[in-house]
Structure 1
Amino acid sequence: MSYPVSLRSKLFRRLPLVLIALLYVVSVQTKSRPNRSISVTTAFPVISASHKIISIRGDVLRPGIYNISDKLLTIDAIQMALPVATITSWSPKGIETTKPTAGHEFFVSINSSKEAVLQVKSLPVSQRILLGIQLDINTLKFEDFVSLPGIGPALAEEIITFRQQNGGFMKVHDLLSVDGIGEKRYQQLKKYF
Protein backbone atom coordinates (compact mmCIF):
# COMPACT_ATOMS: atom_id res chain seq x y z
CA MET A 1 0.00 0.00 0.00
CA SER A 2 1.40 3.36 -1.00
CA TYR A 3 0.62 6.57 0.90
CA PRO A 4 0.42 9.97 -0.72
CA VAL A 5 3.60 12.07 -0.48
CA SER A 6 2.03 14.62 1.90
CA LEU A 7 0.94 11.88 4.31
CA ARG A 8 4.39 10.24 4.14
CA SER A 9 6.13 13.52 5.00
CA LYS A 10 3.78 14.05 7.97
CA LEU A 11 4.60 10.56 9.23
CA PHE A 12 8.35 11.14 8.94
CA ARG A 13 8.06 14.49 10.74
CA ARG A 14 6.14 12.87 13.58
CA LEU A 15 8.34 9.78 13.79
CA PRO A 16 10.85 11.35 16.24
CA LEU A 17 8.01 12.44 18.52
CA VAL A 18 6.47 8.98 18.40
CA LEU A 19 9.83 7.38 19.25
CA ILE A 20 10.39 9.75 22.18
CA ALA A 21 6.89 9.05 23.47
CA LEU A 22 7.50 5.32 23.13
CA LEU A 23 10.76 5.54 25.06
CA TYR A 24 9.02 7.55 27.78
CA VAL A 25 6.22 4.98 28.11
CA VAL A 26 8.73 2.12 28.32
CA SER A 27 10.69 4.04 30.95
CA VAL A 28 7.58 4.69 33.06
CA GLN A 29 6.47 1.07 32.71
CA THR A 30 9.88 -0.16 33.87
CA LYS A 31 9.91 2.15 36.88
CA SER A 32 6.39 1.21 37.94
CA ARG A 33 7.01 -2.54 38.03
CA PRO A 34 7.05 -3.88 41.61
CA ASN A 35 10.08 -5.84 42.81
CA ARG A 36 12.19 -4.64 39.93
CA SER A 37 15.91 -5.07 39.91
CA ILE A 38 17.84 -2.16 38.48
CA SER A 39 21.55 -2.20 37.89
CA VAL A 40 23.09 1.21 38.43
CA THR A 41 26.64 1.98 37.39
CA THR A 42 28.20 4.58 39.65
CA ALA A 43 31.21 6.76 39.02
CA PHE A 44 33.04 4.97 41.81
CA PRO A 45 32.69 1.36 42.86
CA VAL A 46 31.62 0.83 46.44
CA ILE A 47 34.52 1.70 48.69
CA SER A 48 35.74 -1.33 50.55
CA ALA A 49 38.63 -1.99 52.87
CA SER A 50 40.68 -3.13 49.87
CA HIS A 51 40.20 0.13 47.93
CA LYS A 52 40.99 3.78 48.52
CA ILE A 53 40.20 7.02 46.75
CA ILE A 54 42.99 9.41 45.76
CA SER A 55 43.37 12.39 43.46
CA ILE A 56 46.10 12.83 40.84
CA ARG A 57 46.78 16.16 39.14
CA GLY A 58 49.61 17.94 37.36
CA ASP A 59 51.70 16.61 34.48
CA VAL A 60 49.37 13.73 33.63
CA LEU A 61 47.03 13.21 30.70
CA ARG A 62 44.18 11.90 32.87
CA PRO A 63 43.97 14.01 36.02
CA GLY A 64 41.17 13.16 38.41
CA ILE A 65 39.87 10.98 41.20
CA TYR A 66 40.94 7.34 41.28
CA ASN A 67 39.51 4.45 43.29
CA ILE A 68 42.56 2.21 43.53
CA SER A 69 43.28 -1.17 45.01
CA ASP A 70 44.99 -1.22 48.37
CA LYS A 71 47.75 -3.32 46.77
CA LEU A 72 48.86 -0.63 44.32
CA LEU A 73 51.94 1.50 44.91
CA THR A 74 52.21 5.22 44.22
CA ILE A 75 54.04 4.51 40.94
CA ASP A 76 51.14 2.31 39.78
CA ALA A 77 48.58 5.02 40.56
CA ILE A 78 50.60 7.70 38.76
CA GLN A 79 50.98 5.41 35.72
CA MET A 80 47.18 5.01 35.63
CA ALA A 81 46.91 8.78 35.18
CA LEU A 82 49.33 8.64 32.21
CA PRO A 83 52.30 10.93 32.90
CA VAL A 84 53.05 13.36 30.05
CA ALA A 85 56.66 12.09 29.83
CA THR A 86 58.65 9.00 30.73
CA ILE A 87 59.74 9.21 34.36
CA THR A 88 63.35 8.26 35.13
CA SER A 89 63.54 9.24 38.81
CA TRP A 90 61.32 10.33 41.69
CA SER A 91 61.43 13.06 44.30
CA PRO A 92 61.26 12.59 47.20
CA LYS A 93 63.33 9.45 46.78
CA GLY A 94 61.44 6.23 47.44
CA ILE A 95 57.96 7.77 47.27
CA GLU A 96 57.11 5.67 44.22
CA THR A 97 57.28 2.45 46.27
CA THR A 98 54.96 3.65 49.05
CA LYS A 99 51.27 2.86 49.16
CA PRO A 100 48.99 5.88 48.71
CA THR A 101 46.74 6.85 51.61
CA ALA A 102 43.01 7.31 51.09
CA GLY A 103 42.07 10.95 50.69
CA HIS A 104 45.48 12.11 49.51
CA GLU A 105 46.04 14.30 46.49
CA PHE A 106 49.18 13.83 44.38
CA PHE A 107 50.44 16.72 42.29
CA VAL A 108 52.92 15.43 39.68
CA SER A 109 55.50 17.79 38.20
CA ILE A 110 57.91 16.30 35.65
CA ASN A 111 61.02 18.44 35.17
CA SER A 112 63.39 18.59 32.17
CA SER A 113 65.55 15.74 33.53
CA LYS A 114 62.39 13.55 33.59
CA GLU A 115 62.29 13.49 37.38
CA ALA A 116 58.78 13.29 38.82
CA VAL A 117 58.46 15.63 41.77
CA LEU A 118 55.44 14.66 43.85
CA GLN A 119 53.65 16.97 46.23
CA VAL A 120 51.26 15.11 48.51
CA LYS A 121 48.52 16.71 50.56
CA SER A 122 45.08 15.79 51.86
CA LEU A 123 42.01 16.48 49.80
CA PRO A 124 39.85 19.29 51.19
CA VAL A 125 37.35 18.14 53.81
CA SER A 126 34.38 19.10 51.64
CA GLN A 127 35.67 16.90 48.82
CA ARG A 128 36.44 14.04 51.22
CA ILE A 129 32.87 14.20 52.51
CA LEU A 130 31.47 14.06 48.96
CA LEU A 131 33.67 11.08 48.12
CA GLY A 132 32.70 9.23 51.31
CA ILE A 133 36.22 9.24 52.75
CA GLN A 134 36.24 9.11 56.53
CA LEU A 135 37.81 12.04 58.36
CA ASP A 136 40.31 11.84 61.20
CA ILE A 137 38.95 13.91 64.06
CA ASN A 138 42.47 14.43 65.44
CA THR A 139 43.90 16.07 62.31
CA LEU A 140 41.05 18.44 61.43
CA LYS A 141 41.72 22.17 61.73
CA PHE A 142 39.27 24.92 62.66
CA GLU A 143 38.26 25.59 59.03
CA ASP A 144 37.78 21.84 58.47
CA PHE A 145 35.32 21.57 61.36
CA VAL A 146 33.44 24.66 60.14
CA SER A 147 32.97 23.02 56.74
CA LEU A 148 31.11 20.09 58.34
CA PRO A 149 27.30 20.33 58.23
CA GLY A 150 25.90 21.56 61.54
CA ILE A 151 29.15 22.99 62.90
CA GLY A 152 29.67 26.73 63.02
CA PRO A 153 32.70 28.71 64.20
CA ALA A 154 31.72 28.62 67.90
CA LEU A 155 31.20 24.86 67.95
CA ALA A 156 34.40 24.28 65.96
CA GLU A 157 36.29 26.26 68.58
CA GLU A 158 34.69 24.18 71.37
CA ILE A 159 35.78 20.93 69.69
CA ILE A 160 39.35 22.15 69.20
CA THR A 161 39.53 23.41 72.80
CA PHE A 162 38.22 20.08 74.10
CA ARG A 163 40.78 18.21 72.00
CA GLN A 164 43.65 20.41 73.24
CA GLN A 165 42.57 19.97 76.87
CA ASN A 166 42.73 16.20 76.38
CA GLY A 167 46.27 15.97 75.08
CA GLY A 168 45.47 16.79 71.45
CA PHE A 169 43.67 13.49 71.01
CA MET A 170 40.02 12.52 71.11
CA LYS A 171 37.76 9.72 69.98
CA VAL A 172 34.64 10.37 67.94
CA HIS A 173 32.47 9.38 70.92
CA ASP A 174 34.12 12.22 72.88
CA LEU A 175 32.09 14.67 70.79
CA LEU A 176 29.25 14.00 73.23
CA SER A 177 31.37 15.68 75.94
CA VAL A 178 31.76 18.89 73.90
CA ASP A 179 29.47 21.75 74.94
CA GLY A 180 26.84 22.24 72.24
CA ILE A 181 26.80 18.67 70.96
CA GLY A 182 23.94 16.50 72.09
CA GLU A 183 22.89 13.03 71.03
CA LYS A 184 21.05 14.23 67.92
CA ARG A 185 23.96 16.30 66.57
CA TYR A 186 26.41 13.54 67.50
CA GLN A 187 24.41 11.06 65.40
CA GLN A 188 24.59 13.47 62.45
CA LEU A 189 28.34 14.01 62.82
CA LYS A 190 29.69 10.55 63.62
CA LYS A 191 29.10 9.27 60.08
CA TYR A 192 31.89 11.56 58.83
CA PHE A 193 34.53 9.98 61.10
Structure 2
Amino acid sequence: MELTKKQKISLLAIAVIIFTYISVREVMYLRSKTYILTAPSEMNHSVESVEMEHNQNEDSFFNKEDAISESTYIMVHIEGEVNKPGVYELAEGSRVVDVVDKAGGLTSSANRRIINKAQKLTDEMFILIPHIDEEVHISFAERVDHSSSGELSTPNDGMININTADVKLLETLPGIGPVLAQRIVDYRNQHGKFNHADDLMNVAGIGEGRYKDISDQVTVR
Protein backbone atom coordinates (compact mmCIF):
# COMPACT_ATOMS: atom_id res chain seq x y z
CA MET A 1 0.00 0.00 0.00
CA GLU A 2 1.51 3.25 -1.06
CA LEU A 3 1.53 6.07 1.48
CA THR A 4 0.05 9.34 0.59
CA LYS A 5 2.10 12.49 0.61
CA LYS A 6 0.40 13.66 3.79
CA GLN A 7 1.21 10.39 5.58
CA LYS A 8 4.85 10.58 4.49
CA ILE A 9 5.16 14.11 5.92
CA SER A 10 3.59 12.98 9.21
CA LEU A 11 6.00 10.03 9.55
CA LEU A 12 8.96 12.29 8.77
CA ALA A 13 7.85 14.77 11.42
CA ILE A 14 7.51 11.98 13.99
CA ALA A 15 10.99 10.69 13.13
CA VAL A 16 12.48 14.19 13.56
CA ILE A 17 10.76 14.60 16.92
CA ILE A 18 12.04 11.22 18.15
CA PHE A 19 15.59 11.96 16.96
CA THR A 20 15.54 15.39 18.62
CA TYR A 21 14.25 13.91 21.88
CA ILE A 22 16.97 11.23 21.94
CA SER A 23 19.69 13.79 21.15
CA VAL A 24 18.56 16.12 23.94
CA ARG A 25 18.44 13.27 26.46
CA GLU A 26 21.97 12.19 25.51
CA VAL A 27 23.34 15.72 25.85
CA MET A 28 21.71 16.11 29.27
CA TYR A 29 23.12 12.76 30.40
CA LEU A 30 26.66 13.68 29.30
CA ARG A 31 26.44 17.04 31.09
CA SER A 32 25.39 15.35 34.33
CA LYS A 33 28.54 13.20 34.19
CA THR A 34 30.93 16.05 33.41
CA TYR A 35 33.23 17.34 36.20
CA ILE A 36 35.16 20.61 36.14
CA LEU A 37 38.70 19.88 37.27
CA THR A 38 40.93 22.57 38.73
CA ALA A 39 44.30 23.00 37.12
CA PRO A 40 47.15 21.39 39.19
CA SER A 41 48.82 24.74 39.92
CA GLU A 42 45.55 26.26 41.11
CA MET A 43 44.79 23.19 43.22
CA ASN A 44 48.21 23.30 44.92
CA HIS A 45 47.77 27.00 45.63
CA SER A 46 44.36 26.32 47.13
CA VAL A 47 45.71 23.52 49.36
CA GLU A 48 48.59 25.72 50.52
CA SER A 49 46.17 28.52 51.37
CA VAL A 50 44.01 26.16 53.42
CA GLU A 51 47.06 24.80 55.27
CA MET A 52 48.37 28.32 56.01
CA GLU A 53 44.98 29.40 57.33
CA HIS A 54 44.80 26.26 59.50
CA ASN A 55 48.28 26.86 60.92
CA GLN A 56 47.50 30.52 61.62
CA ASN A 57 44.30 29.56 63.41
CA GLU A 58 46.15 26.88 65.39
CA ASP A 59 48.94 29.30 66.40
CA SER A 60 46.38 31.90 67.37
CA PHE A 61 44.54 29.35 69.52
CA PHE A 62 47.67 28.25 71.39
CA ASN A 63 48.90 31.83 71.83
CA LYS A 64 45.57 32.77 73.37
CA GLU A 65 45.65 29.64 75.53
CA ASP A 66 49.18 30.47 76.76
CA ALA A 67 48.19 34.06 77.49
CA ILE A 68 45.15 32.89 79.45
CA SER A 69 47.25 30.32 81.32
CA GLU A 70 49.88 32.90 82.28
CA SER A 71 47.41 35.54 83.40
CA THR A 72 44.85 33.31 85.11
CA TYR A 73 46.93 31.44 87.68
CA ILE A 74 49.28 32.53 90.47
CA MET A 75 51.61 30.62 92.79
CA VAL A 76 51.45 31.28 96.55
CA HIS A 77 53.60 29.82 99.36
CA ILE A 78 52.00 29.46 102.78
CA GLU A 79 53.75 28.28 105.97
CA GLY A 80 53.21 28.33 109.70
CA GLU A 81 50.02 27.28 111.45
CA VAL A 82 48.23 25.52 108.58
CA ASN A 83 47.64 21.79 108.24
CA LYS A 84 49.35 21.40 104.86
CA PRO A 85 52.04 24.07 104.33
CA GLY A 86 53.41 24.38 100.83
CA VAL A 87 53.17 26.07 97.44
CA TYR A 88 49.75 26.23 95.81
CA GLU A 89 48.38 27.27 92.43
CA LEU A 90 45.30 29.48 92.60
CA ALA A 91 43.18 31.51 90.24
CA GLU A 92 44.13 35.14 89.84
CA GLY A 93 42.05 37.29 92.17
CA SER A 94 41.98 34.65 94.93
CA ARG A 95 42.04 35.69 98.60
CA VAL A 96 43.94 34.53 101.67
CA VAL A 97 40.95 32.38 102.64
CA ASP A 98 41.37 30.41 99.39
CA VAL A 99 45.01 29.47 99.96
CA VAL A 100 44.26 28.66 103.61
CA ASP A 101 41.54 26.26 102.44
CA LYS A 102 43.94 24.62 99.97
CA ALA A 103 46.46 24.24 102.79
CA GLY A 104 43.95 22.21 104.80
CA GLY A 105 42.76 25.09 106.97
CA LEU A 106 44.27 26.68 110.06
CA THR A 107 45.57 24.61 112.95
CA SER A 108 44.09 24.97 116.42
CA SER A 109 47.24 26.90 117.38
CA ALA A 110 46.90 29.58 114.69
CA ASN A 111 46.62 33.20 115.76
CA ARG A 112 43.29 33.86 114.00
CA ARG A 113 42.83 37.38 115.32
CA ILE A 114 45.43 38.97 113.05
CA ILE A 115 44.66 37.05 109.84
CA ASN A 116 42.88 39.02 107.14
CA LYS A 117 41.25 36.26 105.11
CA ALA A 118 39.80 38.79 102.67
CA GLN A 119 43.22 40.06 101.52
CA LYS A 120 43.83 39.55 97.80
CA LEU A 121 46.76 37.33 96.81
CA THR A 122 49.52 38.12 94.32
CA ASP A 123 51.85 35.86 92.36
CA GLU A 124 54.92 34.60 94.32
CA MET A 125 53.45 35.78 97.63
CA PHE A 126 54.70 34.15 100.83
CA ILE A 127 52.36 33.99 103.84
CA LEU A 128 53.40 33.00 107.36
CA ILE A 129 50.53 32.15 109.71
CA PRO A 130 51.72 32.89 113.29
CA HIS A 131 51.26 30.74 116.40
CA ILE A 132 48.66 31.88 118.91
CA ASP A 133 51.37 32.45 121.54
CA GLU A 134 53.56 34.48 119.20
CA GLU A 135 53.83 38.15 120.06
CA VAL A 136 52.70 40.10 117.02
CA HIS A 137 53.07 43.87 116.92
CA ILE A 138 52.35 44.42 113.22
CA SER A 139 49.24 43.75 111.19
CA PHE A 140 48.79 40.67 109.05
CA ALA A 141 48.93 42.81 105.89
CA GLU A 142 52.25 44.34 106.97
CA ARG A 143 53.57 40.89 107.84
CA VAL A 144 52.67 39.57 104.39
CA ASP A 145 54.17 42.67 102.74
CA HIS A 146 57.46 42.06 104.54
CA SER A 147 57.40 38.41 103.55
CA SER A 148 56.73 39.01 99.88
CA SER A 149 59.10 41.95 99.32
CA GLY A 150 62.03 41.72 96.94
CA GLU A 151 64.61 41.29 99.72
CA LEU A 152 63.01 38.74 102.00
CA SER A 153 63.42 39.34 105.73
CA THR A 154 61.21 36.30 106.28
CA PRO A 155 62.29 33.73 103.67
CA ASN A 156 60.29 30.70 102.58
CA ASP A 157 61.39 28.65 105.61
CA GLY A 158 59.66 31.12 107.95
CA MET A 159 62.93 32.28 109.54
CA ILE A 160 63.55 36.00 110.05
CA ASN A 161 66.74 37.27 108.45
CA ILE A 162 68.26 39.53 111.11
CA ASN A 163 70.47 41.17 108.47
CA THR A 164 67.52 42.66 106.57
CA ALA A 165 64.58 42.70 109.02
CA ASP A 166 63.36 46.12 110.13
CA VAL A 167 62.22 47.11 113.62
CA LYS A 168 58.58 46.13 113.11
CA LEU A 169 59.44 42.66 111.85
CA LEU A 170 61.96 42.06 114.64
CA GLU A 171 59.25 42.94 117.15
CA THR A 172 57.34 39.82 116.07
CA LEU A 173 60.01 37.68 117.76
CA PRO A 174 59.16 36.39 121.26
CA GLY A 175 60.47 38.73 123.95
CA ILE A 176 61.71 41.35 121.47
CA GLY A 177 59.95 44.65 121.98
CA PRO A 178 60.49 47.96 120.17
CA VAL A 179 63.54 48.88 122.29
CA LEU A 180 65.45 45.65 121.66
CA ALA A 181 64.39 45.62 118.02
CA GLN A 182 65.84 49.10 117.58
CA ARG A 183 69.05 48.03 119.33
CA ILE A 184 69.45 45.15 116.87
CA VAL A 185 69.05 47.49 113.91
CA ASP A 186 71.44 50.04 115.45
CA TYR A 187 74.04 47.35 116.14
CA ARG A 188 73.77 46.13 112.56
CA ASN A 189 74.17 49.66 111.20
CA GLN A 190 77.26 50.27 113.35
CA HIS A 191 79.03 46.92 112.99
CA GLY A 192 77.75 45.62 109.66
CA LYS A 193 75.80 42.45 108.98
CA PHE A 194 75.70 39.63 111.51
CA ASN A 195 77.94 36.70 110.59
CA HIS A 196 76.06 34.23 112.79
CA ALA A 197 72.62 34.26 114.35
CA ASP A 198 74.07 33.95 117.87
CA ASP A 199 75.88 37.26 117.30
CA LEU A 200 72.60 38.73 118.55
CA MET A 201 73.93 38.11 122.06
CA ASN A 202 76.37 40.96 121.39
CA VAL A 203 73.39 43.31 121.44
CA ALA A 204 72.75 44.85 124.84
CA GLY A 205 69.74 43.23 126.50
CA ILE A 206 69.90 39.94 124.59
CA GLY A 207 71.47 37.29 126.76
CA GLU A 208 71.79 33.56 126.31
CA GLY A 209 68.30 32.86 127.67
CA ARG A 210 66.53 35.36 125.44
CA TYR A 211 68.52 34.23 122.40
CA LYS A 212 67.53 30.63 123.11
CA ASP A 213 63.86 31.65 122.95
CA ILE A 214 64.25 33.05 119.43
CA SER A 215 67.11 30.94 118.04
CA ASP A 216 64.77 28.70 116.04
CA GLN A 217 63.15 31.71 114.36
CA VAL A 218 66.15 33.76 113.23
CA THR A 219 68.81 33.29 110.59
CA VAL A 220 71.48 35.20 108.67
CA ARG A 221 71.70 35.35 104.88
Could you state the TM-score of these two structures normalised by the residue count of structure 1?
A: 0.38
Judging by fraction of residues, say which structure has more helix: 2
Could you state the TM-score of these two structures normalised by the residue count of structure 2?
A: 0.34
Judging by fraction of residues, say which structure has more strand: 1
